[in-house]
Amino acid sequence: MKIKNRKDLDKVKDDGMKSLFPKSPQISISMSTCGLALGADHLFQKLTEEKEKTGVKIALRQTGCSGFCNLEPILIVRLPGKPGLLYTNVTVKKTLKILHDIQQKKITTEGLLCTINSPASIDTPDIGLNDVPDYNQAYPFKHQHRILLKNCGIIDPLSVPEYVAMEGYSALYKALCQMRPEDVIKEVVESGLRGRGGAWFPTGFKWDMASKSSGDEKFVICNADEGDPGAYKDRTIMEGNPFKLFEGIVLAGYAIGSHHGIIYLREEYHHTFEFLNTAIEFAKQYGLLGKNILGSEFNFSLNIVRGGGSYVCGEETALMDSLEGEVGDPRLRPPFPIEKGLWARPTIVNNVETLSNVPLIIQNGGKWFANIGTEKAKGTKILSVVGNVKHPGLYEVPLGTNLKQVIFEMAGGPFNGKSIKAVQVGSPFGTFIPADKLDVTLDPESLKKMGSMIGSGVIVVLDQDTCIVDILHHLLTFFVEESCGKCVPCREGVSRMEELMIEIYNGRATINDLNLLNELGETARDFSLCALGGGAPAPILNGIKDFKKDFEAHIKTGKCLLPSK
């Protein structure tokens, strides 16, 4: 059915509420890339078989990724009149036990992490449920400010009604019915939203310029070429709540006067590709993409294009070259994409997280969004905390949260009682912050003061057993591998830096080589064509300064400087 007016929208919303709070028992399995890797499809199959064998009346459904892959497979049990129950790290055996308990009207407490969305009309909970915390109070969701990821892992990502039940598409409806494109841009400008892909460019400003540049056709490109090592926030949004992203893309198109959107998806996201295509079909069925969206005059089509597996294609001009079928080399600027982008038409390129923030801004107003975060950086940021921590995962926090709090309170600090040696914020271009300087707030400005950056929000925690020279060499091999080779400083300079790093690592270098490394780094930083060559030297240059002892140890002895065991 196509949604054409408020009445249709309310009807779909009712359908969504019915499936979120069902009249009969329902089990949802998290079936994202991470869940599938841990056997969610096998689990689904076993449950189906068991259901047929025992004849138990239960609905089997799926959810998306919640951002904590180490808790997968995740199971949500919804019983009539009771809050949803979220089980983590389930196995086939445990699942079958849950199924049998449902049959006997019991509630399994083993593996139960939290309860979800208790509606007001609930009966007094059964004994044993009192100790179970609510979703917002349970570790690891505690301390987070989940506005973007609110629905991820909770709703069925392919169900339009469930998304609408969670206030989805109310922003688009509001924009198409009550707002002019200028008003949408004004709201985004007021919110102070900045690009979440790493450059932190003001989104409203970009849209404003794109809306004013003339062209027979304009494009909205959603940059989903998530290549930063350790980052998976975009995948979680796309697989956990794809319609929120679609809503944001259509809003962007409406704001700048574009009728065509493209999601440039990372090549390695095979499952996401299939998944998003299905989601687009569903959105079309409900009249949320295609012609006359939500019954208005506005038309918008959305396509997905897969990248070719090159990191540099995440750079917006290289991305457009790749879309045009050329080799993905960054272009010279000016002209900027807002004047001459894809096929020489005005184009905006925005990250998945940026676009997903837009529906929230339109729905709640720019002022509401501007209240979250710091003076210059508004809103929340999804941080993917990886490395040697107890609870790696996606943590959505307001900008300006303390780094220490994220690492120790949320992610639980390093495991095995080890101490932290360094933390890289904004991998791979961010610098390694030594353990004694961790008391810093996470926002672009304060990190820039330290010579680092927040980038796309990857936080890599390294413990005392890591050698900085080794890890820097590893980073350099990544940059050498991923450089496009167009400009000399990046192609020749960074590969020579890697060469020198090998010499240093093996103890064949002198202190003079450190100076040469510095000189090379400075040249690559200042003279490179795009952000890859320009950003690559930062961790090295700062690493030489902050971890001089590690370098000296390698130059003198050829061995890593590690605490003796």
The CB-of-481 to other proteins minimum distance in angstroms stands at: 6
| DSSP string computed for 493-551 | IHHHHHHHHHHHHTT---HHHHHHHHHHHHHHHHH-SSHHHHHTHHHHHHHHHHTHHHH
Burial grade of 406 (CB within 10 A; 0-12, 13-18, 19 or more): buried
Q: Which of 520, 538, 540, 544 binds other proteins (CB under 8 A)?
A: 520
Instruction: Identify the DSSP state of 196.
Output: T
Q: Is the dihedral of CA 510, 515, 519, 525 positive or negative?
A: positive
Q: Binding segment for other proteins among 176-184, 223-231, 246-254, 517-525 (CB under 8 A)? A: 517-525
Burial grade of 362 (CB within 10 A; 0-12, 13-18, 19 or more): buried
Put the strands of the sheet holding 84-87 in their side by side order.
59-63, 26-30, 75-78, 84-87, 112-116
Of 406, 409, 414, residue with least CA distance to 442: 406
Please tell me the distance from the alpha carbon of residue 239 to that of residue 231, in angstroms, as a whole number: 14
The CB-of-514 to other proteins minimum distance in angstroms stands at: 13
Residue 488 found at the interface with other proteins (CB under 8 A): yes
Residue 544 found at the interface with other proteins (CB under 8 A): no
Q: Which of 89, 103, 301, 523 binds other proteins (CB under 8 A)?
A: 523
Q: Binding segment for other proteins among 97-105, 349-357, 458-466, 516-524 (CB under 8 A)? A: 516-524
Q: Binding segment for other proteins among 376-384, 399-407, 429-437, 491-499 (CB under 8 A)? A: 491-499
Number of residues that bind other proteins (CB under 8 A): 32
Q: Which of 32, 63, 528, 542 binds other proteins (CB under 8 A)?
A: 528
Ramachandran angles phi, psi of 120, nearest 5°: -65, -30
The number of residues making up the chain comes to: 565
Please tell me the distance from the alpha carbon of residue 330 to that of residue 314, in angstroms, as a whole number: 10
For residues 109 and 87, the answer to whether their CB atoms sit within 8 Å is: no
Residue 217 found at the interface with other proteins (CB under 8 A): no
Report the DSSP beta bridge partners of residue 85.
77, 115
Q: Which of 125, 267, 496, 531 binds other proteins (CB under 8 A)?
A: 496
Residue 281 found at the interface with other proteins (CB under 8 A): no
Q: Which two tokens stand for residue 471?
A: 């890890």
Which residues contact residue 287 at a Cβ distance below 8 angstroms, ignoring those fewer than 6 apart?
Answer: 2, 3, 4, 293, 294, 295
Calculate the CA dihedral of residues 298, 299, 301, 302 and round it to 10 degrees.
10
Task: Spell out, one character per residue from 424 to 463, where the chain touches other proteins: x when CB under 8 A holds, - when not.
Answer: ----------------------------------------
Structural Rg of the chain based on CA atoms: 25
Please tell me the distance from the alpha carbon of residue 288 to that of residue 470, in angstroms, as a whole number: 50
The CB-of-543 to other proteins minimum distance in angstroms stands at: 20
Residues 314 to 373 in contact with other proteins, rule: CB under 8 A: 327, 329, 332, 334
The CB-of-426 to other proteins minimum distance in angstroms stands at: 22
Q: Which of 276, 483, 509, 543 binds other proteins (CB under 8 A)?
A: 483
Residue 310 found at the interface with other proteins (CB under 8 A): yes
The CB-of-522 to other proteins minimum distance in angstroms stands at: 8
Helix axis angle for 242-256 and 170-178, nearest 10°, is 20
Decide whether 252 or 480 has the Cβ nearer to other proteins: 480
Q: Binding segment for other proteins among 5-13, 77-85, 190-198, 475-483 (CB under 8 A)? A: 475-483
The CB-of-432 to other proteins minimum distance in angstroms stands at: 24
Decide whether 182 or 326 has the Cβ nearer to other proteins: 326
Residue 227 found at the interface with other proteins (CB under 8 A): no
Residue 189 found at the interface with other proteins (CB under 8 A): no
Q: Which of 475, 491, 501, 546 binds other proteins (CB under 8 A)?
A: 491
Please tell me the distance from the alpha carbon of residue 47 to that of residue 35, in angstroms, as a whole number: 15
Q: Degrees (nearest 5) of the Cα angle 293, 299, 302?
A: 95
Q: Binding segment for other proteins among 7-15, 116-124, 243-251, 526-534 (CB under 8 A)? A: 526-534
Q: How many CB atoms lie within 10 A of CB 121?
A: 7
Q: Binding segment for other proteins among 155-163, 360-368, 466-474, 486-494 (CB under 8 A)? A: 486-494
Q: Binding segment for other proteins among 251-259, 340-348, 403-411, 523-531 (CB under 8 A)? A: 523-531
Q: Which of 283, 348, 529, 538 binds other proteins (CB under 8 A)?
A: 529
What does the binding site for other proteins look like in residue numbers (CB under 8 A)? Answer: 214, 310, 312, 327, 329, 332, 334, 480-489, 491-493, 495-496, 499, 516, 519-520, 522-523, 526-529
